[in-house]
Structure 1
């Protein structure tokens, strides 16, 4: 399939570890809520759905993959979007797996200041503890995951980069023969401990990636945590990339206006991009752009976790 470069892939982070139920009544955490929000986002135009496992009783983050096994088939039955789930399970041969290219601080304790009433007891201590937390991805961690992916040749990796040094880490893995192109890069901006959401950092990311990999050898997507979500992802599309929105990255639809769903953010960015004469990629077109060969595997929905070249 020959595709126009004007096709833009919209990814949607339906939930995520930086936001807790007390921050927004719209944030989904029960099984029924997550399924509904994911399906609505896909119908609004998202070709990739990014999910994080959480306890369906109180929304607390969990590493229990059984939670995802309960969700993904239900979502897959209602949409053909690529589904990205964390924690990743390479042995299930997902379509897309997200792989961080380096360790970084990942603090979101500032959110505590704006909340006076908590829905669940775990939230405040969890947010405060993030000030001492590290989003760990050592070279050994990365190589271990790459080894686990070796037998899942139908799985693509999305290389998540929160700092310029993460691009150099990826370049080192390429030099060692552990990663082959074409590449799919996730430019993650606005997270405390990584590149902030200054527009200049997006230009730095793009120019560094061009120098290390060659512009023709990679696709990239942009996410911006917080209030700069829509302006920065729009800039990313104008610069030739793809976009990610969703309540997992930002709880707002506009200044001071909480989004009622991730689908509302998808519809907003879709309208903006279409008014700029971009076309929104369908799931089938997204698979072609990212060179994902498989559709669904073993009845478990396509899982976006990144693109592996």
Structure 2
């Protein structure tokens, strides 16, 4: 299982829970917009679609299963992409809220943050003087005093109720080097079996910085913990660091993640008009590097997924 010899999986994180409507008019908020952008991203080459939900009235993050149900089945019917449902939700959601839809949907894949951490973009509020909705400013500023919680017990619970009982596999989100060691702990406990899909996250305030050296450190540490053939890795670069870091990750033998959850831009000072625009850009870069892009079914084989017919939506 040598990553450098395999095709590159493109993941697309469509909307997330961090950015707010004021930050970009192109951020998908309604079920129709989320579905449209996800389907376009899949057509552009994304094999995995990482999905959050938004309140269609004002765009705030929500864990409401009814809202997920308004777009997830539509995406399933329109594309063969792997549907990856967040278990992270937002820093304001309880574990029960975050798991409400994944436990109902039993998807092929879910994201799983591998530790509790400070997670914030509160400095971004200083650059905005006029907000579209009243909730946005206190939401962004309030991140300064919030922690994203995923304790060892929380992670163990998610692995049991989603992994063991639903057959869901995970995108293990590692925002810091210690998260790799947390992952190794659960592997050593026998609670996680390979193939591992590690998502290195760089550039979030509270986690690893976007320095290229950190990417190399993450890669070499994962090699020591799991063996080069014991995992697959992917790279997520936040904000303006998106394209340089994911390109470096691909050169190092990894996979890539783009999307408006991770960055609102497609180039310096240029807002992306859609997630598909970012997918098309990274696909062009991969093609120039003579790297082949994985189809959804190839991604399923590479990651050992249970298949689209085994989900509950």
Q: Which band: TM-score by shorter chain?
A: over 0.9
Provide structure 1 residue ranges, at least 5 long, that are not aligned to the other structure.
301-309
The answer for the alignment partner of 1:240 in structure 2 is 253
How many pairs align? 299
Q: How far 1:11 moved relative to its partner?
A: 0.4
Deviations 1:192-245 (A, max 9, x none): 000010000000100100000101010011001010100000000111110000
1:82 correspondence with 2:82: yes
Q: Which residue of structure 2 lines up, in the alignment, with residue 59 of structure 1?
A: 59
User: Do structure 1's residue 156 and structure 2's residue 188 form an aligned pair?
Assistant: no
- Which residue number corresponds to residue 107 of structure 1? 120
Residues 106, 312 of structure 2: 8 Å contact kept = no
Task: Indicate how the Cα distance of structure 1 residues 211 and 151 shifts in structure 2: closer, same or farther if over 3 A, else same.
Answer: closer
Residue 149 of structure 1 deviates from its aligned partner by 2.4
Relative distance call for 1:268 and 1:70 in structure 2 (3 A) is same
Of the two structures, which has the highest relative contact order with CA contacts closer than 8 Å and spacing of 6 or more? 1
Determine the structure 1 residue equivalent to 2:263. 250
Structure 1 residue 151, shift from structure 2 partner: 4.0
What is the CA–CA distance in structure 2 between the aligned matches of 1:275 and 1:299, rounded to whole Å? Answer: 39
Partners of 1:61 and 1:194 in 2: how far apart?
21
Aligned to 2:73: 73
SS at the partner of 1:216?
Answer: coil
Task: Tell me if the contact between 1:95 and 1:296 (Cα under 8 Å) persists in the aligned partners.
Answer: no
In 2, the alpha carbon distance for the partners of 1:26 and 1:144 equals 36
Task: Give the unaligned 5+ runs of structure 2.
Answer: 87-97
**Residue 94 (1) aligns with residue 107 (2):** yes
Q: CA deviation at 1:110?
A: 1.4
CA contact (8 A) 1:109 1:127 kept: yes
Q: Distance in 1 between matches of 2:259 and 2:29?
A: 14
CA distance in structure 1 between the partners assigned to 2:306 and 2:153 by the alignment: 28
2:190 to 177, 184, 193: 177
* CA distance in structure 2 between the aligned counterparts of 1:67 and 1:245, rounded to whole angstroms: 23
**Residue in 2 aligned with 1:305?**
none
- Report the RMSD for the aligned CA atoms in angstroms: 1.6
Q: Secondary structure at the match of 1:180?
A: coil
- Where does residue 305 of structure 2 map in the other structure? 292
CA shift for structure 1 position 154? 3.1
Aligned to 2:10: 10
Q: TM-score, length-normalised on structure 2?
A: 0.92
Partners in 2 of 1:298 and 1:230 — Cα distance? 32
**Paired residue for 1:303?**
none
User: What does residue 27 of structure 2 align with?
Assistant: 27
In structure 1, C-alpha distance between the alignment counterparts of 2:81 and 2:229, rounded to whole Å: 25
Where in structure 2 are the equivalents of 1:183-198 lying within 5 Å?
183-198=196-211
TM-score, normalised relative to structure 1:
0.93
- Secondary structure of the residue that 1:280 maps to in structure 2? coil
Structure number with the higher helix fraction is 2
